[in-house]
Amino acid sequence: MPEPRVIQIEVHGQRYPIRTTLDQSYVLELALYVDRKIGLAAEASPSSDTLGLAILTALNVADELFRARDQRVSESDSLSARAVALEEMVDQALTLAGHSSD
C-alpha cells in the first residue's frame, strides 16, 4: 500500500490538507464534487452558516448514495427475476422437446 501523503483541496473557499493514500486526481475530483454540492446548498439556503451548508451537503450526498444503492438492488432483483423466468422457459422447452422425440 502506498505511503499516505498530504493533498491540498479547496471546498467552499477554504483550503484543507487531506492525508490519504488515494490518487491525487481522484481526491481533487471528490473535492470539486463536494464544492459544487455545497455551492448548490448555499444557493438554496443563503443564510446558512458553513456548518449548516456542510450538513445540507452531506444529506444531499447521502440521499444520492441511498438512491443509487436502492436502484442497484432493484436492478439486481429484476435481473434475478428474469433469470428465473428464462430458466423456466428453458425447462419447458426441454420438456416439450423430450415429449416430441417419443
Query: How confident is the model over 49-91, as pLDDT tens digits?
Result: 999 999 999 999 999 999 998 888 777 777 787 887 788 888 7
The grid cell for 101 is 422425440
Count how many domains the chain has: 1
CA 75 to chain centre: 14
pLDDT band (50, 70, 90) for residue 34: very high
Give the Cα separation of 80 and 75 in Å (integer): 9
pLDDT of residue 100 exceeding 70, the answer is: no
What range defines the domain where residue 56 resides? 5-100
The grid cell for 87 is 430458466
For the chain, what percent of residues have pLDDT higher than 70?
A: 97
- Residues forming a β-bridge with 17: 8
What does the pLDDT average to over 27-53?
Answer: 93
Of 31-35, 59-63, 92-96, least confident by mean pLDDT is 92-96
pLDDT of residue 102 exceeding 70, the answer is: no
Name the pairing type of β-strands 14-20 and 5-11: antiparallel
pTM for the structure as a whole: 0.69
18 φ, ψ to 5°? -115, 120
Which of these, 62, 20, 6, lies nearest to 37 by C-alpha position?
Answer: 62
Give the Cα separation of 63 and 71 in Å (integer): 12
